Amino acid sequence: MMRQTKKLVLSALFMALGIVLPFFTGQIQQIGNMLLPMHIPVLLCGFICGWQYGLAVGLATPLLRSVMFGMPPIMPTATAMAVELAVYGAVTGILYARLPKKIPYIYVSLFGAMVAGRVVWGIVSIALYGIAGSAFSMQIFLSGALLNAVPGIILQIVLIPVIIIALKRAGVLKDYEN
């Protein structure tokens, strides 16, 4: 019971971070779009709290932020992001729980989640843009999923493993790992 309460509280913290972090980068929209500030807390939630919590935080954070502040716009951006981030949180949590608890597998879990999330974002975007009567081309996918996101991808690859490794060394993650 206590472990679930801790995970729930941490998930709320990660959701709050996902809502607040874009304020630091969102003043200049191009920087916010490049650094992907909502992704970091969702990925961390998947690692630390598990796939169910990562999925819930990933799904809720962009939608809640859109309802509260109007950014990102609910359709199609926040909706596609919600599915993408839900996949990030879920896949990170699933892979991290199933793979050995060694440093290289932190990266495997992170890369697996990043690839799965981007693919799902592309598929959902095709559907949502199609419903809206807009085209979603391979060029738009590559631009949004890769080219414009390179700084955020690098930030995630550098920052998230460092945080997870530091938490493991401090013994903090033992309470959360299955």
Using DSSP's 3-state secondary structure scheme, residue 79 falls into helix
Q: What is the pLDDT of residue 177?
A: 63
Q: Which residue has the higher pLDDT, 136 or 105?
A: 105
pLDDT at 129: 86
Q: How far apart are CA 135 and CA 146, in angstroms?
A: 18
Q: Is the pLDDT of residue 178 over 60?
A: no
Q: How far apart are CA 117 and CA 3, in angstroms?
A: 27
**pLDDT digits 0-9 by tens, 49-91:** 999 999 999 999 999 999 999 999 999 999 999 999 999 999 9
Token digits of residue 134:
């807009």
Mean pLDDT of 20-28: 83
Tens digits of residue pLDDT in 156-169? 999 999 999 999 99
Domain boundaries, the chain: 2-175
pTM: predicted TM-score of the whole model, two decimal places: 0.93
- Integer Cα distance of 60 and 38 in angstroms: 11
pLDDT digits (tens, 9 = 90+) for 131-140: 877 877 777 7
- In CATH, the number for domain 2-175 is 1.10.1760.20
Work out the percent of the chain whose per-residue pLDDT is above 70. Answer: 94
